[in-house]
Amino acid sequence: MEKMLIINAHPKVEAAASVSLQVLQHFVEAYTKWNPAGIIEQVDLYRDHIPAIDYRVLEAWSKKGRGEPLNEEEQQITDRMSVILRQFKDARKYVIAMPLHNFNVPSKLKDYIDNILIARETFRYTENGSEGLLTDGRSLLVIQASDAIYTNNDWYTEVEYSHKYLKSMFNFMGIMDDQIIRAQGNAILDPGEILEKAFQEAETAAKALAMAEISNKEPIQSGLTE
């Protein structure tokens, strides 16, 4: 069975009032209904230890490059980064749930990406440029909540860096099947209508992913327009 990895990037890990987490919960329930035998793992970025690239990580990498032994702290950090990377690579379907923070991803999600964007593991350098190594039909679903609306082809559309960043990084690793559910306009629209629309999109995405696994076919392409 293919494993689904849920990446919870909400700082309030279990906030019942969180729009993105409500949509995530609805998605999981729908996916489990259609694929009860499906394997789901979850990483909570603001609860689990996600190392940031700081002076300790850089020093550990430098030592490893020189073939020098690491101290205990450096070894613990690099071991944890290896666990994060292995969990990511072992999955084939990725679901990210997050609020939009100042037009971009939450900071811990950036740290997480730094743990999985590793040369010779998820991409490689070649004479013709970088190539993604995860080209075996994986998929990404992003569930994003925001106060403003980012699909009116206006200034907000231009500065929705979160979606551009995640799409680019996953494409860079070779994951080309991506889609996004936007629970947007929470500061100005009716909350019930926002959730109803997002729930419908979540159910559609959940069924498509579940049926793709059951029938052993590739996930349905989303036909996203930017």
Q: Alpha-carbon distance 34 to 28, whole Å?
A: 10
Residue 124, in any domain of the structure: yes
Residue 210, in any domain of the structure: yes
Residue 102, in any domain of the structure: yes
CATH code of 84's domain: 3.40.50.360
Q: Which residues pair with 183 in a beta bridge?
A: 145
Residue 152, in any domain of the structure: yes
The pTM score is 0.93
Q: Which residues pair with 126 in a beta bridge?
A: 129
Residue 155, in any domain of the structure: yes
Residue 49 confidence (pLDDT): 98
pLDDT digits (tens, 9 = 90+) for 185-220: 999 999 999 999 999 999 999 999 999 888 764 454
pLDDT digits (tens, 9 = 90+) for 75-98: 999 999 999 999 999 999 999 999
Residue 224 confidence (pLDDT): 41
140 close to 166: Cβ distance less than 8 angstroms: yes
- Residue 127 tokens, joined: 């004479």
Q: Which residues pair with 101 in a beta bridge?
A: 104
In SS3 terms, 55-97 reads as HHHHHHHHHHHHCCCCCHHHHHHHHHHHHHHHHHHHCCEEEEE
Percentage of the chain beyond pLDDT 70 is: 95
* Confidence label for 159 from pLDDT (cuts 50, 70 and 90): very high
Residue 81, in any domain of the structure: yes
Q: Which of 26, 33, 37 is nearest to 4 (CA)?
A: 37
Q: Which residues touch 16 (CB under 8 Å, ≥6 apart)?
A: 22
Residue 159, in any domain of the structure: yes
48 close to 225: Cβ distance less than 8 angstroms: no
From the centroid of its chain, how far is CA 190?
Answer: 27
pLDDT digits (tens, 9 = 90+) for 11-33: 999 999 999 999 999 999 999 99
Q: Which residues touch 142 (CB under 8 Å, ≥6 apart)?
A: 95, 96, 98, 163, 166, 178, 179, 180, 181
Question: How many structural domains are present in the chain?
Answer: 1
- Residue 7 tokens, joined: 């990446």
Percentage of the chain beyond pLDDT 90 is: 92
Residue 224, in any domain of the structure: no
For residue 77, the enclosing domain spans 3-214
Residue 216 confidence (pLDDT): 61
Residue 222 confidence (pLDDT): 45
Q: Which residues touch 177 (CB under 8 Å, ≥6 apart)?
A: 137, 138, 139, 140, 218, 219, 221, 222
